[in-house]
């Protein structure tokens, strides 16, 4: 894998190679020279901040961006007052876009104090032409913009940015923009810097083919592409060697993994292969689309020692009429019988979900249907969202958009049921002792550690930070709403 590459031995007098990832290694070597020169010139180590919005997929992409920035010589920081700041954006709901514009306003003021500061934007929001127009007009100081399909080209684009001498505040500023509409390429083996040493996300597929009528993701992430099982297994083996014990397999709809490969493989089969990898103790995945969740998967989960007792199964709506308008391709009854089947086979499983309130045409009686499902399923947690109109999606041009006050009323009513049922459901484990992976020192109280149960519930307990990354048995003393306070059992 890439760790063995000595970037300084790459001959930069030659033309860059055509093949990937060799081409990007070449540009990493080139950027190292720029960063070195700027470091010498400024007299301090150059810092870079990667700021992430959105889902786990974006978080994983940010680890790749961080790995590249580190390999070219930047020191990573969380402080946005850095020499280089990159925003990895999300556009699933409009408030995600608004947050990015707010942050850019702040950067503008930082940049006035430090004219050498460089700014880049990437991710889902950049795939929208109207966003690019707005940035060109109102945020002209941005140095580099790229999208979701060419993230692997980050070293090459950085080299271009350095070469064009942007950011000097001397009138020579040029904004570099490289957005692709689509790609069928998956580039493997680029540097990556994990946020946690003991756990990691792994992309198993990219894009989405489902076109739920409210959702922008298929437009900004492109068509579904699965990585080969060999590449995925090799990556996980390397992670296990490097001390990773918990992995999260990532895709917009992991249940359709492998369907379009030359030699089709099911997601359940992939899981069985991953299960065999020594050193990996916990396997998670997200997200599962209810329409594709197979009996084979339920059996593999049931028999597995390593697959966590948690399933995120987005409902979106409990009304069959709305589900049909959403193009979800299941009914209320099908969803409920799927949950029943899963619970029968794996009784201790925690089920969580996503719900949208205010989809066009939704009536209070549809919200009642959703509440009915929440009561029947008894979710451990549900993420509830107010419908956000995304230009270009079929739902955006539906005429029966719902009045804001009606949406708010439905949302509040639903949220209360979600909270009441989840609180009761999560508390069912009180008095038990279960394994938790120790993730970090508690942010509020440094005498406590924070761990995660197999079913994804959080538990806080006294302990030493040397335990971080270990799996320990924890007595679940008291449930406080959505988390536990406990004690390590020896």
Please identify, using beta-carbon distances, which residue of 202 and 356 lies nearer to ligand SAH: 356
Give the span between the Cα atoms of 82 and 49, in whole angstroms. 6
Residue 71 within binding range of ligand SF4, rule CB under 6 A: no
Among 62, 66, 71, 91, binds ligand F3S (CB under 6 A): 91
Choose between 215 and 342: whose C-beta lies nearer to ligand F3S: 215
* Three-state DSSP class for residue 32: helix
At 207, give phi and psi (nearest 5°). Answer: 75, 180
Q: Does 169 bind ligand SF4 (CB under 6 A)?
A: no
Q: Return the number of the residue (57 or 422) whose C-beta is nearest ligand F3S.
A: 57
The tokens describing 71, both together, are: 């390999």
Site for ligand F3S in 301-320 (CB under 6 A): none
Q: How far is the CB of 478 from ligand F3S (least distance, A)?
A: 34
Give 460's strand partners: 450, 485
Q: Give the shortest CB-120-to-ligand SAH separation in angstroms.
A: 24
Closest CA relative to residue 253, chosen from 21, 57, 65: 57
Scan residues 68-97 and list those touching ligand SAH (CB under 6 A).
92-93
384 contacts ligand SF4 (rule: CB under 6 A): no
* Rounded-to-integer distance, Cα 47 and Cα 271, Å: 39
Angle between the 154-163 and 22-42 helix axes, to the nearest 10 degrees?
40
**CA dist., res. 484 & res. 477, Å (int):** 7
- Residue 388 interacts with which of ligand F3S, ligand SF4, ligand SAH, none, CB < 5 to 8 Å by class: ligand SAH
211 binds, among ligand F3S, ligand SF4, ligand SAH, none (CB under 5 to 8 A by kind): ligand SF4
387 lies in the site for ligand SAH, by CB under 6 A: yes
- Pick from 54, 191, 360, 486: which binds ligand F3S (CB under 6 A)? 54
- Cis bond before residue 213 (omega within 30° of 0): no
Q: Tell me which of ligand SF4, ligand SAH, ligand F3S, none is bound by residue 169, counting a contact when its beta carbon lies within the kind-specific cut-off of 5 to 8 angstroms.
A: none
Binding of ligand SF4 at residue 253 (CB under 6 A)?
Answer: yes
Tell me whether residue 199 or residue 390 sits nearer to ligand SF4 (CB atom). Answer: 390
Cα–Cα distances in angstroms (integers) from residue 352 to residues 272, 309, 314, 379, in the given order: 23, 11, 7, 5
Contact between 50 and ligand F3S by CB under 6 A: the answer reads no
Q: Is 218 in the site for ligand SF4 (CB under 6 A)?
A: yes
Contact 454, 432 (CB under 8 A): no
With beta carbons less than 8 A apart as the criterion, state whether 74 and 117 touch: no
Q: Which of 71, 166, 252, 256 touches ligand SF4 by CB under 6 A?
A: 252
* Residue 2 in contact with ligand SAH, rule: CB under 6 A: no
The answer to whether residue 328 forms part of the interface with ligand SAH (CB under 6 A) is: no
Peptide bond into 21 cis (omega under 30): yes
Q: Which is nearer to ligand SAH, 206 or 214 (CB)?
A: 214
Cβ-count burial 413-428 (b if 16+ within 10 Å, e if not): bbeebbeebbeebbee
Which residues fall within 8 angstroms of residue 322, CB to CB, at 6 or more apart?
359, 361, 362, 366, 369
Quick one: what does residue 227 bind among ligand F3S, ligand SAH, ligand SF4, none, with the CB cut-off 5 to 8 Å set by partner type? none
State in angstroms the smallest separation of the CB of 148 from ligand F3S. 7
CA distance 439 to 160: 39
| Distances from the Cα of 474 to the Cα of 416, 443, 447, angstroms | 30, 19, 16
The site map against ligand F3S for 199-228 (x = CB under 6 A) is ------------------x--xx-------
With beta carbons less than 8 A apart as the criterion, state whether 270 and 204 touch: yes
Q: 433, 391 in Cβ contact below 8 A?
A: no
356 is a contact residue toward ligand SAH (CB under 6 A) = yes
- Binding of residue 390 to ligand SAH (CB under 6 A): yes
CA-to-CA distance for 363 and 188, rounded, in angstroms? 47
The reply to whether 352 sits near ligand SF4 by the rule CB under 6 A is no
Sites of contact with ligand F3S (CB under 6 A): 54-55, 57-58, 90-92, 124, 217, 220-221
Sites of contact with ligand SF4 (CB under 6 A): 208, 210-212, 215, 217-218, 252-253, 289
Sites of contact with ligand SAH (CB under 6 A): 92-93, 214-215, 217, 252-253, 287, 289, 314, 316, 354, 356, 385, 387-388, 390
């Amino acid at each position: 894998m890439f760790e063995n590459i000595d970037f300084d031995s790459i001959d930069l007098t030659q033309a860059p190679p055509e093949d990937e990832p060799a081409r990007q290694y070449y540009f990493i070597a080139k950027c190292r020279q720029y960063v070195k020169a700027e470091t010498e010139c400024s007299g301090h180590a150059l810092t870079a901040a990667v700021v992430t919005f959105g889902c786990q997929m974006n978080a994983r992409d940010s680890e790749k961006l961080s790995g590249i920035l580190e390999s070219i010589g930047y020191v990573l920081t969380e402080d946005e007052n850095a020499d280089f700041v990159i925003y990895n954006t999300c556009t699933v709901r409009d408030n995600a876009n608004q947050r990015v514009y707010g942050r850019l306003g702040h950067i503008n003021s930082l940049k006035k104090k430090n004219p050498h500061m460089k700014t880049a934007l990437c991710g889902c929001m950049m795939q929208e032409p109207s966003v690019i127009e707005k940035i060109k007009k109102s945020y002209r100081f941005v140095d580099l913009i790229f999208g979701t399909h060419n993230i692997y080209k980050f070293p090459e684009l950085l080299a271009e940015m350095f070469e064009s001498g942007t950011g000097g505040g001397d009138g020579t500023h040029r904004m570099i923009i490289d957005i692709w509409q689509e790609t069928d390429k998956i580039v493997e083996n680029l540097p990556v810097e994990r946020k946690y040493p003991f756990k990691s996300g792994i992309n198993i597929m990219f894009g989405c083919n489902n076109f739920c009528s409210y959702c922008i993701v298929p437009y900004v992430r492109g068509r579904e592409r699965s990585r080969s099982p060999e590449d995925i297994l090799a990556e996980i083996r390397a992670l296990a060697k490097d001390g990773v014990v918990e992995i999260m397999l990532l895709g917009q709809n992991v249940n359709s993994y492998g369907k379009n490969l030359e030699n089709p493989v099911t997601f359940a089969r992939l899981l069985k292969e991953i299960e065999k990898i020594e050193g990996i103790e916990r396997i998670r995945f997200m997200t599962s689309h209810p329409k594709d969740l197979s009996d084979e998967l339920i059996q593999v989960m049931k028999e597995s020692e390593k697959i966590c007792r948690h399933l995120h199964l987005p409902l979106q709506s409990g009304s069959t009429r709305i589900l049909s308008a959403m193009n979800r391709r299941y009914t209320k009854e099908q969803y409920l019988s799927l949950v029943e089947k899963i619970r029968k086979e794996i009784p201790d499983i925690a089920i969580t979900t996503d719900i949208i309130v205010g989809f066009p045409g939704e009536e209070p009686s549809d919200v009642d249907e959703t509440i009915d499902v929440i009561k029947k399923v008894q979710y451990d947690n549900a993420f509830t969202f107010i419908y956000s109109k995304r230009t270009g999606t079929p739902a955006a041009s539906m005429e029966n958009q719902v009045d804001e006050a009606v949406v708010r009323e439905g949302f509040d009513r639903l949220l209360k049921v979600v909270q009441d049922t989840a609180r009761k459901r999560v508390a069912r484990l009180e008095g038990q002792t279960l394994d938790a992976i120790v993730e970090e020192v508690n942010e509020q109280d440094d005498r406590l550690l924070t761990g995660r149960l197999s079913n994804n519930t959080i538990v806080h307990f006294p302990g030493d930070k040397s335990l971080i990354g270990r799996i320990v048995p924890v007595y679940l003393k008291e449930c406080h709403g959505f988390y536990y306070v406990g004690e390590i059992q020896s």
